[in-house]
A and B are shown apart, each in its own frame.
Chain A
């Protein structure tokens, strides 16, 4: 019989992100320092260690020590991430703008595909934006109609672990903690490369209001 600990260890080793949305029990388990410490030796044996982002709300397995092999994996992974940042950011902004509240997409948000789709259908600018997003290699949609595009985008995002579809019958998606990880990465890039992204956006908004 598999223990809770074993189950969590398994999903960590499969490269999954554990957050309150994707696996509440596991997340609660890992939140306790004792449990996390018990898990650590098992991970260490496989050159892994428990890592957390987004203020300790999202857990995943990281390498303990980095050799050449590990660096190669990480480099490749990083390049993939870097190339998918723009499509993901555009998608996040599209969902934010199309939702009524204009709140950013965060962990635990529920996205109702039908509502989103009807808003996008009614607004040609959003429809154009969606078409552009769906054409990115990350999503790889070749569909000409909006329905196919949005479904493909959401399907890919579910595969990538950013979204979760709790009920296969219903078109309701939950945003997982991986989105928080995405924000953290952009924040990190912003700080490391000193891009001052917020200031750029601020300046653009102010110029927009002047025009």
Chain B
């Protein structure tokens, strides 16, 4: 018999191991996506009691036993509920203890041993479930019911938790140690289990529960304060919407000004530097050193007149009057163009009876020719008349120039 049981258990555990991914997926998401897995595997898991279908339309879910196992081992407190059925457990403990005592009495040691194992299991289960229940409450308190967003929801959660605490406390009242100790009698093992170990867990649970209760009340107070504040703010805005001209009474004119509105004005100004204080000299120096890059502009108070109106009119154009010498050169050029005959500068000078210095005149004619634009220059030819220096070769004295058309 036991061999068969062991085999079946091993098969179940193997199946759990083989399909661990599927199971963890179902654990996290709540249900199995049936498309992703072969129907044969799913069928097998259903037969092993790992998955089940709550009703024909719904998806496959993890059996609660598997879920509890995972929650217990992973210390995942999300979905844990509080098992507060202590009364029933205590009753079964008492029955088992009676069985055990009877078996001992009739010297059926095998039977007694089995009862003892059972009893131990039950006691430890009970202590564990007590510990779990308190831990669940604590974990909820520690994140201040952070998994619900609104303050109202937090208050509801808090009330639920308080209900659970009082339930647990009621259940704890089921422990009657006088009864348990009389059942245990003088049996050492029974005493250890029923009195010592249960009492320890009882006192621990009771102690922690009182802390939990205090924290819950504290939190509830805070949530209520939050709620009150939100309402106060919203109410104020609503009121201002309905009566936009509302102004609170002038409280500072009351004979007894409420402390809230009695706020003294600022009094302290900056102190000034005492230059006679020798001890501060170094500090002053660093301060002054830090001032060097401050450029102070001269105060421009008086000079700042309003700008005058600006008149925008056409400016008189400036005509540059030409030098008479230059005009004479221009005339000379025109004369040459009109006649079409080459003409010596000095000839023209003599004919027109000009009164410049002849040398200046010749220079001006040469200058006039050189200053012509290249395009104009090519119409004219300028020949120099003169003779070479009698002593030094390479020197040429120009006595006159002749301008002609090319």
Contacts and interface: CB of A to CB of B under 8 A. Distances in A.
Interface string B249-271: 11111000111111111111000
Given A13-B268, A103-B226, A200 B263 contact: no
Contacts of A46: 267
B294 to A, nearest CB: 24
Interface in B343-363: none
Interface size classification for chain B:
35 or more
A4 B305 CA distance: 54
Contact of B251 (A78, A85, A199): A78
Interface in A67-83: 70-71, 73-75, 77-78, 81-82
B233 A92 contact: yes
B236 A89 contact: yes
A34 interface: no
Contacts of A202: 231
B266 A78 contact: no
A75 B235 contact: no
A14 B234 CA distance: 33
B156 interface: no
Interface in A84-107: 85-86, 89-90, 92-93, 96, 100-104, 106
Given A200-B239, A204-B234, A15 B263 contact: yes
B263 A77 contact: yes
A160 interface: no
B261 A93 contact: no
A66 B256 CA distance: 9
**Which of A74, A106, A188 counts the most B-chain CB atoms under 10 A from its CB?**
A74
Main secondary structure of the interface of A (DSSP, over half): helix
Given A13-B266, A74-B263, A195-B235, A100 B257 contact: no
A48 B239 contact: no
Contact of A62 (B253, B263, B268): B263
B70 interface: no
Interface string A191-209: 0110111111110110000
B92 interface: no
A36 interface: no
B267 to A, nearest CB: 4
A186 B258 contact: no
B229 A183 contact: yes
B166 interface: no
Interface in A11-56: 13-15, 46-48, 51, 53
Contacts of B229: 104, 106, 183
A78 B252 contact: yes
B266 A14 contact: yes
B238 interface: yes
Contact of B262 (A13, A62, A184, A197): A62
B290 interface: no
A60 interface: yes
A198 B227 CA distance: 9
A126 interface: no
A172 interface: no
A187 B257 CA distance: 16
A62 B236 contact: no
B248 A201 contact: no
A185 interface: yes
Given A13-B268, A101-B149, A201 B262 contact: no
A102 B257 contact: no
Contacts of A103: 151, 226
B236 A75 contact: no
B265 A82 contact: no
Nearest to A81: B261
Contact of A89 (B237, B252, B263): B237
Interface in B262-306: 262-268
Contacts of B236: 85-86, 89, 186, 190, 195, 197
Contacts of B251: 78, 192
7 contacts: A13-B267, A14-B268, A15-B265, A51-B259, A74-B257, A75-B253, A204-B238
Interface of B: 146, 149-151, 226, 228-240, 247-253, 257-268
Pairs of residues from A and B, 4 with the lowest C-beta to C-beta distance, nearest first: A197-B235, A74-B252, A15-B266, A201-B235
Given A74-B263, A196-B235, 6 more contacts: A71-B252, A73-B265, A74-B252, A101-B146, A183-B229, A185-B261
